Chains A and B, each alone.
Chain A
C-alpha cells in the first residue's frame, strides 16, 4: 500500500546547528503537508506544498517539494530550543481526503 517514509527517526543537535528531515512517498502526491508536535502536545499544521519543486520559507524553516512530487524536506537553520518536537510529513491517500502520515522525525536540541 501507499507509504510515506521519513528519515531520520531521531536527531539531536546543539543549539545553533542546522537540522533537516526528509520525507519520501511511494506514490506521486498532489500535495504534501508538514506538522509539528511538541512533547505532550498534538500535531499542528505548519505548511502545505502543492507545486513541483516548490520552496516555501517560514522564518528559519525552509520546506521543499521535489520535482517528481514524491519527496519533500524540511530544513531548520540555526535551531533553537523552541524547535524541539516531532516533525511529520503527510500526503493525501488514494482514498480521497485522508492523509497518510510519516512516522516523524523527533528533534532534540541542547543549549
Chain B
C-alpha cells in the first residue's frame, strides 16, 4: 500500500510568492495533520482535520497560512504571501480509524523562501 504522498518534495520560491503544498493521506484514514519542522522550533502541529473537517488550527502561524481538505483523499496547505521565515520542512501525516492515534508521516516538502 502507498503511504502518505506529498508534493512537491522540494520547493524554492521568492518572497511574496504563493506556495501550495499537497498531501494525499493513506486510504481509509480519517485524520490528517499538517506539521512544520525547523531546527529552532522542532516539530509543530499547524492544523488537523477529522473526516475532512478542520478541528484545530491554533497552530497556524498567521493569516498567510490556510489549509483545506475538500475530500478524504486530498489536502492542501497554502502560504500567501510567503516569507523567508516560512522556510522549513512541512510534513503531512494521517491517522487510521482507531483510538491509537498512531500517525503515518509523508516524506515532507522542503520549502525554501528566498
Point out residues on A near B: beta carbons under 8 Å: 31, 33, 41-45, 48, 88, 92, 95-104
Contact = CB atoms under 8 A, between A and B. Distances in A.
Interface string B96-112: 00001111111110000
Contacts of B107: 41-42
Nearest to B3: A42
Interface residues of B, number: 21
19 contacts: A43-B91, A43-B93, A43-B103, A44-B105, A45-B102, A45-B103, A48-B102, A88-B43, A95-B55, A95-B56, A98-B33, A99-B45, A99-B101, A99-B103, A100-B45, A101-B42, A101-B45, A103-B42, A104-B43
Contacts of A98: 33, 45, 48, 55-56
Contacts of A33: 101-103
B31 interface: yes
Contacts of B42: 101-104
Contacts of B108: 42
Contacts of B91: 42-43
B95 interface: yes
A68 to B, nearest CB: 20
Interface string B52-94: 0001100000000000000000000000000000000001010
B19 to A, nearest CB: 19
